[in-house]
Amino acid sequence: MNFYDIDVRTITGETTKLSAWTGKVMLIVNTASGCGLTPQFEGLEALYRRFNDRGLVVLGFPCNQFAGQEPLDEKGIQAFCTSRYDVSFPMFAKLDVNGAGTHPLYAHLKQSAPGVLGSEAIKWNFTKFLVDQRGAVVARFGPKEEPAAIDGSIEEVLEGRALKAGAVSGRWASMLGPSAPLSMAHTVARVLLGGVLLLAGATHLTVLRQEFLAQVPKWVPLDADFVVLASGVVEVLLGASLVFLSKRRVLVGLSVAAFFIAIFPGNISQYMNGISAFGLDADRARFIRLFFQPVLVLWALWSTGAWRALRTKPTAAGVAPPAGALVTEQVS
């Protein structure tokens, strides 16, 4: 479903579409009147009044899924917001942001801007999503992120500067910039590969240090032990990046794939010279092992979305088109 085609119900009961705010920058927030974070209404209203003339609209969606902290009905919510915090930005009817009854709006927001390790669930009241003038979800801010702290991000989106690719454009902007969301299967595969690299790096540096010497080609103009140690350090760094740098997973995926390609000559050297290591004491076993390296390359590219980024056609503006380039992914 197109973002602007999503139906929402106002606080007074009318049904409208998000297309009512086409061309606006939207800050969409799930709210509650009985939460410790409820005073954020004041900051949200301040943002709305500061930036409304420049094209920002704040949209508040009450939700009672977090410790029952929104017990009021729509009429009570409206009275509370106006009397306590002088809220003038649009408020809407209560909805679900998680579970089987998740409203289509929040299904779209969560898929477009997942949290850590691809988790989509809204963690608490006052999670904030920033949507640009084209309907792309460009940022997700956690509940404890004060409204005043995100004014810089709003400025950037209003001025068309949300994508941090700088002077880089076209396909490289989509690769070097933040990544579009992927499925849980991709996430699991990426984290698993990160674990494999962390383990391999640790063994490079410790118990299998001598074994890995067999894979250093004789023609490498460096001390073989130094190459093994350096490879171990790189594997640890890449493995940690796969696990923790989800915002830059495309760039990390490309780096991991390049690393696997760079060390492939070591596997070839082991086969060509008949060197036994890792239990590979026959030419057939060493030959079969050669085909495992391309699998690792493809694993790195697929699990991080780098393969998709390589195949994605850039838009005229130099930005990859999928639903919402995730510019500032902050965990809710």
| Residues with catalytic roles | 35
Asked if 301 and 307 count as a contact pair (C-beta separation under 8 A), the reply is: yes
Alpha-carbon span 248 to 250, nearest angstrom: 6
Measured between alpha carbons, how far is 112 from 1 in angstroms, rounded to an integer?
13
Burial class of residue 291, CB neighbours in 10 A (0-12, 13-18, 19+) = exposed
Distance CA 241, CA 260 (A): 15
Residue 27 in tokens: 């800050």
Read off the amino acid at residue 159.
Answer: E
How far is it, in rounded angstroms, from Cα 261 to Cα 306?
15
Helix (H, G, I), strand (E, B) or coil at 94: coil
